[in-house]
Chains A and B, each alone.
Chain A
Amino acid sequence: MSPNPIGSRMEQLAQSLAERIVPMIIDAIDINSIIEKVDINQVVQRVDVDEIVSKVDVEAIIDRVDIQKIIDRVDINKIVEGIDIDALVEQTELGSIIARSTTGIVTEILDVIRAQGVGLDDFTLRWANRLIGRGKKIADWPVGPPLCVPPKAAS
């Protein structure tokens, strides 16, 4: 409280006036008409979202979220029931991958034989190059046809 008694009175008067007048002013103002006049897009453009985001401690927010509680509320079975597995398999390569992944030992042996064939091809080419003294001149040769190998690797 102010040490001056007149000042104290004036202060109380101002306070009581403000309490009465301010609500009257607020009631008189048409907030909607003001909002309509404001160009929200312009306001948004002036906001530096990156700066705001950089100030937000996302880690702290995540720490406060109870993920387990959210998961418990989700009915996984109902979601899975809603998925058309057949359509999913048809649209993706999953079907062929599953079919190929369950084939027998013969195909596994074939994979190994083919890979060893590639190694043997490299060995043969290396020695053929040495025989004619071509050395590393083939380094810039194309590795495959343009439609089979991306241009970067082919150069």
Chain B
Amino acid sequence: MTMPAPNPEMTIGRQGHYAGAASRLVAFGADVGASWGLYTIGVALFDTFFHLVTRRTYSLTNHQILAIVILVVWEFLYYTYQWGVSGRTIGMAVFGLQVVTVEGARITMRQAALRTLGLALCIATLGIGFLGILYQRERRALDDLVAKTAVVYSWDARAARLRWMARTENPHQSAFPPRPSHVHPEERTAAP
């Protein structure tokens, strides 16, 4: 099975451009899911390990304040570490996004930490902080403004195009069947 080739203007031509709201929102959603999933797995593993070592049952769900503190610390580490190391989280990597400085260079760990705090601020403002992605000149949300960063499209689109060409026998042939031409029903019946 070969997927239809994406438009090169939408892939290769957009690398390094400021990323838009839809991609960033979906990537953020994926990150919320990923971080929450990893947290749940971590808590379950901790409970099991604690039970194996002490032969006592200890569940974090029974200690809500501690659970929230751990969750907040975990979320901070999840975003800060990933942004600081590679400029992208799991969700951003999936959707081909990267956090860079306003000039376009790699961000520092300090900027990553500031951006995570800015993200918390965006959530605290019930999402109003995200509106900058739609209306700010450089598509920068509140977290970007705090950390002096921007989000750009960044995936290896050229390799993707080569990959598609390698998998397709005739790269110039469209993956979709030709659209039927508009022929009048009478003409269609008259044809031999």
A114 and B155 contacting across the interface, CB-CB below 8 Å: yes
Within 8 A of A (CB), among B1-47: 1-4, 6-7, 10-11, 14-23, 26
Known contacts: A96-B159, A120-B23. The answer to whether A149 contacts B17 by CB under 8 A is yes
Closest to A150 in B: B16
* Bound Cα distance from A22 to B191, whole angstroms: 92
Kindly list chain A residues whose C-beta atoms are within 8 Å of the C-beta of B138: 141-142, 145
A41-49, A78-86, A98-106: which one contacts chain B?
A98-106
Known contacts: A105-B3, A117-B95. The answer to whether A148 contacts B16 by CB under 8 A is yes
Q: How large is the interface on B (under 10, 10 to 19, 20 to 34, 35 or more residues)?
A: 35 or more
B153 and A118 contacting across the interface, CB-CB below 8 Å: yes
A115 and B135 contacting across the interface, CB-CB below 8 Å: no
- How many residue-residue contacts, CB under 8 A, span A and B? 125
Q: How large is the interface on A (under 10, 10 to 19, 20 to 34, 35 or more residues)?
A: 35 or more
Q: What 0/1 pattern do residues 124 to 164 of B give for CB contact below 8 A with A?
A: 00000000001101100000000000101101110110111
Task: Judge whether B123 is part of the interface by a CB distance below 8 angstroms.
Answer: no
* Bound Cα distance from A97 to B15, whole angstroms: 18
Task: Judge whether B167 is part of the interface by a CB distance below 8 angstroms.
Answer: yes
Q: List 28 A-B contacts (CB under 8 A).
A: A97-B162, A100-B160, A102-B166, A105-B1, A108-B2, A109-B3, A114-B6, A115-B6, A117-B96, A118-B23, A118-B153, A120-B22, A120-B23, A121-B22, A121-B23, A124-B21, A124-B22, A125-B134, A128-B21, A141-B138, A143-B18, A145-B16, A145-B100, A145-B150, A145-B152, A146-B103, A147-B104, A148-B152
Residues of A whose CB lies within 8 Å of any CB of B are 96-97, 100-103, 105, 107-125, 128, 132, 141-149
